[in-house]
Structure formats: structure tokens, C-alpha cells
Amino acid sequence: MKSNLLEIRNLKKIYHDKDGEILAIKDISFKIKEGEFIAIVGPSGCGKSTILSILSDLENKSDGEIIISKSNLKIGYMLQNDALFDNRTILKNTLIGLEINKNLNDEKEEKVLDLLNTYGLSEFIDKYPRNLSGGMRQRVALIRTLAVEPDILLLDEPFSALDYQTRLAVSDDVYKIIKKEKKTAIIVTHDIEEAISMADRVIVLSERPAVIKNIYSIDLPNKSTPIENRKIKEFDEYYNLIWKDLDIHV
Ligand code: ADP
Ligand code: MG
């Protein structure tokens, strides 16, 4: 059994703004093992992005503990918007994290070129983001995130700007890359199907202030890639369970 990479214990977050306090996260605890793929689902505004912001140190927690099993755990954060720089070439976009960290050298650049090559982007390295499709841009964003060799990847609704068809293809793509590179990942999404099709475990959050409603281990028979997983009969059973947890009223 793989060891825990990260543990969150009784996490709480209160935001302060001009109107007072907003309790975003009430009490959340979970663990993530090395190599595991976790999805966090919950209604819009429940505190999903806040969890990732706290993990990546962009926000402070108000209470609770984050226990990391490895010193200098490196986090890669991939956002909803691919946030590529229009005036940088694809190669220069993928190298930006290394540049910022002052870690760029020939060996690292060679590794990034390898990734671009492996994932079908080598002929685009001198092109600009505007020359690429939405799906390819997401792939570039992922490679940029992988370039700094993170121990864990945090993905915040990474496909929500894409149309449905592209979204399916790109999530399959991104999933395969993450597995091939043997990365640990947490994806945040409000899309139940996306969560079940990609994750080893799905954590379902309540409405704000967030607590955990349920955690499901997704044990699909003959589990494979996200697109294939969607076709498995048991997929719908998980879907119905999580749908009920979210108790969506229209
Ligand atoms: P989600 O990602 O699940 O949609 P967020 O984590 O972005 O939700 O936000 C959770 C709650 O915290 C929301 O009510 C949001 O308005 C509030 N919130 C998020 N960021 C801030 C902030 N910087 N200041 C004040 N309130 C915030
Ligand atoms: Mg969010």
C-alpha cells in the first residue's frame, strides 16, 4: 500500500471582507496517497477552490492542520483558464515556471522538450497560443505545470472553458498524461461525471460552509480511461449516489 503524501485535518477557512466574515470551509479532513487521483465535487461557491488555494499557500487557513509527508513538497497548480501568455511561444510558455524559480537549465529544457514531443506538441514549440486549439492549449498548460516536477498536481475546473466534446477528449488526454507521469492529483470540479470518470476517490462536499458529505472509492470493473469509464454500467450507480448527496434543486 502506498503511503500518504498529504493529510488535511479539520481544515477551516473564514474569509474577512468589508461586509464581515464568510465561513467558507467549516471542517474538512481527508488524506491523499502517493499516486492517487482525488476528485472534489460540490456546488458552486461551496469552497472547492479555497481548499486548493490553501494547499498551494495562496490563502492562509483559519484552523486545522495540513500534514505533508515529504519535505519541500512541490505543488503544481493548473487553473480553469489556461493562462498562457499570448506573446510567448509555446516553448517559452512551458518554461515560464522554471524561469520564475530560476531553475532553468539545458537539462530541464530538454525534459520539457521531451514532454512536448511525447504529447504531440513538438511542431508547435515556436508557435503562439493563438495558433492552438483549446484542447492543445490545455495540454500546454499541463506540460508547463509538469515542467517544475511537482509532487502533486492541483487542477481547478481545468476543462470548464471547453465545449462538451473537447472536454471529454481533453480530460482523457490529461488523465493519461498524469498517470503516465505517475503524478498524485487533486481535481476540483462541479461535474459529477468528470469526477467519477477520472478519480480513484470522489470527495463530495456540502453547500457552503463546506463539510464532507461522503467519500466514494470508485471501483469500476475493468476501469480504464475517463471516456471508457463512462460506458461502464456501475458508473451510473455512482452518479446517482453523488447526485443524491448534492441534492440539487432546480
Ligand atoms: P468554489 O470554488 O467551490 O466555487 P470558492 O472556494 O471559490 O468556491 O469560494 C467559497 C466561498 O468563499 C464563496 O462564498 C466565495 O464567495 C467566498 N470567497 C472566496 N474567495 C474569497 C475572498 N478572497 N474573499 C472573500 N470571500 C471569498
Ligand atoms: Mg472554484
What CATH number corresponds to the domain at position 233?
A: 3.40.50.300
Q: 210 pLDDT exceeds 70? A: yes
Residue with CA closest to ligand 1 atom 26: 15
Does residue 126 lie in a domain region? yes
> Which three cell numbers mark 43?
456546488
CA torsion through residues 58, 12, 195, 37, sign: positive
- Cβ atoms of residues 122 and 115 within 8 Å: no
76 three-class SS: strand
Does residue 201 lie in a domain region? yes
Q: What is the mean pLDDT of residues 65-81?
A: 87
List, in sequence order, every beta strand (DSSP E) within the chain.
4-17, 20-33, 37-41, 63-68, 75-78, 152-156, 184-189, 201-205, 210-217
Distance 35 CA to ligand 2 centre (A): 24
Does residue 127 lie in a domain region? yes
For 8, other C-beta atoms within 10 Å of its C-beta total: 19
Residue with CA closest to ligand 1 atom 21: 15
Does residue 69 lie in a domain region? yes
Ligand nearest to the CA of 47: 1
Does residue 62 lie in a domain region? yes
List, in sequence order, every beta strand (DSSP E) within 71-226.
75-78, 152-156, 184-189, 201-205, 210-217
Higher pLDDT, 162 or 232: 232
Query: What residues are paired with 189 via a beta bridge?
Result: 41
Q: How confident is the model at residue 250 (pLDDT cuts 50, 70, 90)?
A: low
DSSP 53-88: HHHTTSS--SEEEEEESSTT--EEEE-SS----TTS
Q: 196 pLDDT exceeds 90? A: yes
Domain total in the chain: 1
Report which of 4, 52, 54 is spatially closest to residue 158, judged by C-alpha positions.
Answer: 52
In this prediction, residue 247 carries a pLDDT of 78
Contacts of 102 (CB under 8 A, 6+ apart): none
Which residue range is the domain that position 91 belongs to? 4-245
Q: How confident is the model at residue 6 (pLDDT cuts 50, 70, 90)?
A: very high
Alpha carbon distance 31, 50 (integer Å): 17
Residues having CB closer than 6 A to ligand 1 are: 15, 17, 22, 24, 42, 44-50, 208
Give the global pTM: 0.91
Does residue 184 lie in a domain region? yes
Q: What angle do CA 69, 71, 72 make, to 5 degrees?
A: 125
Does residue 250 lie in a domain region? no
pLDDT, one tens digit per residue, over 131-169 is: 998 888 988 998 999 998 899 999 999 888 788 888 898
> Which three cell numbers mark 44?
458552486
Q: 2 pLDDT exceeds 80? A: no
Nearest-atom number in ligand 1 for the CA of 156 is 2
Alpha carbon distance 221, 161 (integer Å): 31
- Cβ atoms of residues 38 and 32 within 8 Å: yes
- Cβ atoms of residues 39 and 8 within 8 Å: no
Q: 249 pLDDT exceeds 70? A: no
Q: What is the mean pLDDT of residues 174-193?
A: 93
Q: How confident is the model at residue 236 (pLDDT cuts 50, 70, 90)?
A: very high
Does residue 115 lie in a domain region? yes
